[in-house]
Structure 1
Amino acid sequence: MLMSSSERLAVLRYEPNGFRVIAPGTHVKCAVSGESIQLEVLRYWSAEHQEAYANCALATMRLAENG
C-alpha cells in the first residue's frame, strides 16, 4: 500500500482488550512482516510483547515462537 506524506507511525500501548494511543498516527508496523497496518483495521496484537500483527496467521506464528 502506498502511503501519503500525511500518514504517520502511531505509538500505541497494547492492552488485553484494546489499545491506547500514546502518540497519534495513522498506522503501526507488523512485528513479523513489517507491513503497515492502518489503525482502523488493527485487530491482532500482543499486550505481553507490545507488538502488532497484520493478520491472525502472523500473530499465531509469532506467539508460537515466543512460547
Structure 2
Amino acid sequence: MNISERPPMPGPEAAIDYGHGEFRVVRPGAFVRCAVTGAPIRLDDLRYWSVEWQEAYVSPEAVQLRLRRAGRR
C-alpha cells in the first residue's frame, strides 16, 4: 500500500503555511489534499509542497505534473 492508497485519519482537513523545509499548521486537521490529484495526504506523510503556490503534493510525479501545467518544465 502506498501513501495515496491510505485513507486519511478521521477528522477535518488541515490548513497549512508551507515554508522552506518545514510547514506550520494554521488550522489543525488530520490531512491536506494534493493540489494535482486531490488525494488526501496525512500530515505525517507530507513530504512535497510548493512555498510559492502554497500547495501540497502527494508524490514527486505530482510535483512534475504541476510544473508542466505551469509551463515551468
CA distance in 2: counterparts of 1:50 and 1:2, whole angstroms: 23
CA distance in 2: counterparts of 1:45 and 1:3, whole angstroms: 18
Q: Does 1:12 align with 2:16?
A: yes
Task: Name the aligned partner's letter for residue 67 of structure 2.
Answer: L
Whether the 8 Å CA contact 2:17–2:25 is kept in 1: the answer is yes
Shift of 1:60: 1.4
Aligned-residue CA RMSD (Å): 1.4
Structure 2 counterpart of 1:31: 35
Task: Name the aligned partner's letter for residue 29 of structure 2.
Answer: G
Structure 2: unaligned runs, 5 residues or longer:
1-5
The DSSP-based 3-state class of the residue aligned with 1:64 is helix
Relative to 1, partners in 2 of residues 1:38 and 1:3: Cα closer, same or farther, differing over 3 Å? closer
Relative to 1, partners in 2 of residues 1:51 and 1:3: Cα closer, same or farther, differing over 3 Å? closer
Q: Runs of 4+ in structure 1 displaced over 3 angstroms?
A: 1-4
Relative to 1, partners in 2 of residues 1:27 and 1:63: Cα closer, same or farther, differing over 3 Å? same
Structure (1/2) with the larger strand percentage: 1
What is the TM-score with the length of structure 2 in the denominator? 0.81
Structure 1 counterpart of 2:65: 61
Relative to 1, partners in 2 of residues 1:52 and 1:64: Cα closer, same or farther, differing over 3 Å? same
Shift of 1:51: 0.4
CA distance in 1: counterparts of 2:52 and 2:13, whole angstroms: 21
